[in-house]
Structure 1
Amino acid sequence: MKHLFLLSAATVLGLTVHAQDYMPSANRIQKTVSFLASDKLKGRGTGQKGSIKASRFVAAQFKKMGLAPGNAGSYYQDFTFDRNSHKGLTSRNVIGWLDNGAARTIIIGAHYDHLGTAELFDGKYPAGQIHNGADDNASGVAGLLEFVRYFTENGEKEPFNFLFLAFGGEEMGLQGSKYFTANPTLPLANVHFMLNMDMIGRYNDERGIGIGGYATAEEWPAVFKDVQEPGIHYFTDGSGKGASDHHNFFMNKVPVIFLHTGPHDDYHKPTDDAPKLKAKEEALILQLGIKLINNAMKYKELHYHE
């Protein structure tokens, strides 16, 4: 009996350790943000070398974790756009696909671009200085990759497919999500909901995390009911509109959730750097997100509310 007990304890311990491998990790989050927000990527400016490196990094992570290419055999969806005096700007979305053989799909997204060295912003920001964008939005990309890990490695076959989207050109006017919703790789009518993360790395306990889109589906109040995550608190906002990529999905009649830890003194400044990230709190926010996603999957369909 003693040997059986030890074997059982070891088995349980092994399962516990394995479970920690796919749950959101503060160490992985910090590592991802430190890479994306390093000076080597020079602020991930739209169409610039650092942004291209970031897109390749995301695609490589998608492939490593077992996602299929999400755009006709490619992880990339290239696009061009004009903005103000800047014509023919280029960027790309990075798309990974988890096919569970389901009729409907959940989209999880975050933008990977930032201001670069600010030359494309016509004097609005200090040109020539690297804007690393650790919170905006390396933090969201880190969250995106943690969700990929969870839904590919948790041993469950979910009742929905997942499309993971890293958007380009968000800082230039939500260009990546605008292009994707105009040229979707799957029918938007088959999307259960879209979850967007933009600036989730600077949790402030006095404010809590804001979750937008609460009024965009009839079922959201029931999905949110009694959902809590020890160590953080949140408040909801009904609007599906806003200055981030969920906006374009809402405008195309897709229910949305938007996670955002709020403004701070480093917003759109060269001082938004990786050491200021609150990775432990971000991991808890992602655990809250997992609870909401799991609750939302109890419904065969969410009904869009304008």
Structure 2
Amino acid sequence: MKNFRIVFSVVLSLLCLAGGHTTQAQVNPQNLQKHIDYLSTDRMKGRETGQKGSKKAASYIEKYFKKYNLQPKGEKGYRQEFMAQVRRGKATGQQRKSENIIGFLDNKAPYTIVVGAHYDHLGLGDIGGSRDSLGVGKIHNGADDNASGVAGLLELARHYATNSVQESYNMLFIGFGAEELGLVGSKYFTEHPTIPLDSVQWMLNMDMIGRYSPENGLAIIGYGTSSAFPKIFEGLSSSITFNLSKDGNGGSDQTSFYKKNIPVLFFHTGGHDDYHKPTDDADKIDYKAMEAILNLEIQVIDNSMKQPKMDFQWTN
């Protein structure tokens, strides 16, 4: 997640609602742990844009998109290549290749729901963004930021690709590159979309969903970007507390879609002491809460499929 401070314009705290609508979700916590363990191991060297670890992460996402028989929807197979500028201190920027990894679940529908998460992180912390000056030069594994979001992306892809249901909307799953360098991958996609942007129903973004705190709850940002969201959330239940914020902007990839007049929701469990430090490791992830978050997301997605084409609203 790009460094930022979220200011909630309007926040609604929703607790677990007894007797509410539930969905028989198929989230597998073991899959979540497997994905996070792989993506945040020291061997990935912090998944720095343009480096070997980031390339391995891209290939890992592509492998599972193939496994789930998603259609390639990049510009070359599953891949959409772009260039991103990396700065080291005050040094002149260096251009590096990065890629979005894009898979399409074709339900023969006119409209599509986009689900995204970024897979890059800070490497050794010397490209900027590290919050630990003494940790620069150490591997920033980024288990929460954002191996957790990628694990959620892959698990939602598995759920919808294998649930034996032909939904009323298509789904486009995107692993974004170079988010930490300024939302570069999502900006590139929205400027060079591989499906028409006017066919997008809405966009769901996951960035840091692995460190749930009951005191803070789960933040769901973008509730005000369509008049349909209050209907979509009506009667939903969860074992976790979640807070709804109207604003469509924020320091992650949903912002690129919001700026193209597309409704968005951004799921985020908030900052913590390990954010952008070498200590953001897999053993600190709350997998039980992640399972609840993804079950909630499935309810939201399923309810959004009951809506006609959603309108868009500016929130600021």
Above 0.5 in TM-score? yes
| Partner residue, 1:67 | 70
Higher helix share: 1
Distance 1:204 1:123 in 2: 23
Give, as a single letter, the amino acid of the residue that structure 2 aligns with 1:38.
T
Is 2:280 the partner of 1:272?
yes
Report the CA distance between 1:87 and its aligned residue: 2.8
Cα deviation code 1:104-129 (max 9, x no counterpart): 00000000000011222288753311
Report the CA distance between 1:89 and its aligned residue: 2.1
Distance 1:191 1:292 in 2: 16
Is 2:48 the partner of 1:41?
no
Distance 1:149 1:98 in 2: 10
Distance 1:115 1:198 in 2: 14
Distance 1:69 1:136 in 2: 26
Aligned mate of 1:95, from 98, 102, 105: 102
Contact 2:85 2:181 in 1 (8 A): no
Report the CA distance between 1:45 and its aligned residue: 0.5
Contact 2:176 2:186 in 1 (8 A): yes
Q: How do residues 74-153 of structure 1 correspond to structure 2 at under 5 angstroms?
A: 74-83=77-86, 85-121=92-128, 126-153=135-162
Tell me how many residue pairs correspond in the alignment.
286
Answer with 1 or 2: which has the greater Rg: 1
Cα distance change on mapping 1:260 and 1:217 into 2, 3 Å = same
TM-score (norm: length of structure 1):
0.90
Secondary structure of the 1:203 match is: coil
| Partner residue, 2:242 | 234
| Partner residue, 2:30 | 27
Greater shift in the superposed pair: 213-222 or 66-75: 66-75
Contact 1:211 1:234 in 2 (8 A): yes
Report the CA distance between 1:190 and its aligned residue: 0.7
Distance 2:74 2:142 in 1: 27
| Partner residue, 2:297 | 289
Contact 1:228 1:288 in 2 (8 A): yes
Secondary structure of the 2:256 match is: helix
Cα deviation code 1:251-288 (max 9, x no counterpart): 00000010000000000000000000001110110000
Distance 2:39 2:96 in 1: 21
Contact 1:214 1:236 in 2 (8 A): yes
The one of the two structures with greater contact order (alpha-carbon pairs below 8 A, sep at least 6) is 2
Distance 2:26 2:271 in 1: 27
Cα deviation code 1:75-94 (max 9, x no counterpart): 11110033553231221110
The alignment-based identity, stated in percent, is 47
TM-score (norm: length of structure 2):
0.88
| Partner residue, 2:222 | 213
Distance 2:85 2:34 in 1: 34
Distance 2:110 2:94 in 1: 39
Report the CA distance between 1:73 and its aligned residue: 5.2
Secondary structure of the 1:132 match is: coil
Distance 1:94 1:293 in 2: 21
Computed over aligned residues only, the root mean square deviation of the Cα atoms, in angstroms, reads 1.6
Q: How do residues 130-209 of structure 1 correspond to structure 2 at under 5 angstroms?
A: 130-209=139-218
Show structure 2 runs of 5+ residues with no match.
Answer: 1-22
Cα distance change on mapping 1:128 and 1:190 into 2, 3 Å = same
Contact 1:86 1:120 in 2 (8 A): no
